[in-house]
Amino acid sequence: MMTGLASPRANPWIGAIAPYTPGEAKLASGVQPIKLSANENPWGPSPVAIEVIRAHAHGVNRYPDGAATRLRQRLAFLHGLDPERIVVGTGSDEILQLLPLIYCAAGDSVVHVRHGFMVYPIAARRAGAEPLAAPDQDYVADVDAILATVRADTRLVYLANPNNPTGTMIARAEVARLHAGLRPDVLLVVDQAYAEYLDDPDPDGALELARHAPNVVVTRTFSKIYGLGGLRVGWGTGPAAVIEALNRVRTPFPTATVALAAAEAAIADQEWVARCREANRNERARLAAAIDALQDHGLRAVPSAANFVLMTCPEHGPLSATAIKAGLEANGILVRHLPSQGLPHALRISVGTHEDTSRLIACLNRLAA
C-alpha cells in the first residue's frame, strides 16, 4: 500500500451537515408497528393509482419522460398554472435541495424557522451557505423574526406552511407581509407539502405569489395526501427564470415511469383526496382532544393544520417525551422524537387510521393513569 499521498478531501462545509434522519420504521421486536413517525397517508394512495402502478410493471426497460410533460400539464390544469413554469423532482426534496446550489455562493446565508424542516439546513450547507434559524413564537413562524434574521448575504428564505414538525400555519396576510418585507433579490421558498390537508386550494396565497412575483417558489409533493411517498414525486412552480435554472441542474430523469403514471392517476382522483382530507381532519381532532384532555398531566397538542400533531410533554418524569416514546413503542406504536431540532420535550405524532388513533389514545391514557 502506498502511504503519504493526499486523499480526496470533502469540501469543509460538508462535514458540518447533520445527516437527515428519517422517522423510525421498525420495532426492535420485529413486530409490524403502527407507524406514526413519518407523516405518511395511512389510507394509502388512490386505488386508481395502485392499478396504474400494477399496469406499468412492463415497459420499465425504457427511460421515463425526464421532463414529466404529462404530469406537468395535469398539475397546471388542476392548479391554474403554466406547465412551462412547473418542474418535477425526486420528491419535493430534490427541488428544495437544488435551490441553494443555484442561488447561494459559499459564505452566503439561508434563513428558516427555528423548529422547521430538517432538510433546509442540510440544503443550505450543501451549497456552502450558512443556515440561520429565526425564532418562532409558541411554535408558529414569526414573520418579524424571520425578517430580522435576514442579512445582507441572505439569498433564500424557506417557509414550510403548514410547518413540519410543528403543524402550525401562518395566514395569507402574513405570507404576503413576509414577501413584501424581503429584498427582491432574496428567493422566498414556500414549502406547501401539507397544503392539500386544507380546503382552500391555495391556503396561504403562496401559489398566487409564485404566479406573479419574480422571487417566490412554491413546492408541493405527492408524498403526503396523495400517499405516494415511496415513489418520490414532488414539484415546484415559480418564475420562469427559476424553473429554467432548476431544469439545468436537476437530474436528467428525476422520477420513474411508474411514479409519473401513479402521480397522474392520483391527481385525477380528487374524490380520494377529499376523503383523505376529511378523515385526517376527524382523526387529528380526536388525537388533539385526547392529548389536551391530559393537560393536567402536562401534555398539550400544538394546534395543527397538517397530518400530524406535535405533543409537548413535561421535561421529566413518566410522561416525558422519552418515556412516552418508549411506552408507545412497547405497545407497537412508532412516533417521532426530534431532540436535535430543539424539541427534546415533544413528540410528533402522525395522524393514523381510526383504529391506529384509538390504539394510540388508549395507550396514552394507560401511560398517564
Ligand X SMILES: Cc1ncc(COP(=O)(O)O)c(C=O)c1O
CA distance 353 to 356: 5
CA distance 69 to 89: 12
Binder of ligand X out of 103, 117, 158, 272 (CB under 6 A): 117
Of the candidate spans 62-70, 72-80, 91-99, 148-156, the one that interacts with ligand X by CB under 6 A turns out to be 91-99
How many residues bind ligand X, per CB under 6 A?
Answer: 13
CA distance 292 to 306: 17
Contact 33, 333 (CB under 8 A): yes
Binder of ligand X out of 35, 71, 93, 280 (CB under 6 A): 93
Binder of ligand X out of 68, 87, 160, 259 (CB under 6 A): 160
Query: In this complex, which beta carbon is closest to ligand X, that of residue 41 or of residue 109?
Result: 41
Q: Is 262 exposed, middle or buried (0-12, 13-18, 19+ CB in 10 A)?
A: buried
Which region holds residue 154: left if phi is over 0, alpha if psi is between -120 and 50, else beta? beta
Binder of ligand X out of 108, 142, 174, 191 (CB under 6 A): 191
CB of 165 to ligand X, least distance (A): 8
Binder of ligand X out of 227, 234, 238, 352 (CB under 6 A): 234
Radius of gyration of the chain (CA): 21
Asked if 196 touches ligand X (CB under 6 A), the answer is no
Binder of ligand X out of 33, 45, 64, 91 (CB under 6 A): 91
Contact 193, 10 (CB under 8 A): no
CB of 303 to ligand X, least distance (A): 17
CA distance 95 to 238: 12
Whose grid coordinates read 428544495? Answer: 96
Query: In this complex, which beta carbon is closest to ligand X, that of residue 79 or of residue 290?
Result: 79
Query: In this complex, which beta carbon is closest to ligand X, that of residue 222 or of residue 363?
Result: 222
CA distance 258 to 182: 40
Query: In this complex, which beta carbon is closest to ligand X, that of residue 66 or of residue 314?
Result: 66
Query: In this complex, which beta carbon is closest to ligand X, that of residue 294 or of residue 305?
Result: 305
Asked if 164 touches ligand X (CB under 6 A), the answer is yes
Asked if 229 touches ligand X (CB under 6 A), the answer is yes
Residues 30-89 that bind ligand X (CB under 6 A): 39
CA angle 246–250–256, rounded 5-degree value: 130
Asked if 255 touches ligand X (CB under 6 A), the answer is no
CB of 229 to ligand X, least distance (A): 6
Q: Which residues of 276-306 are buried (b: 16+ CB within 10 A; e: fewer)?
A: bbebbbebbebbbebbeebeebbbbbbbbbb
Residues that bind ligand X (CB under 6 A): 39, 91-93, 117, 160, 164, 191, 193, 221, 223, 229, 234
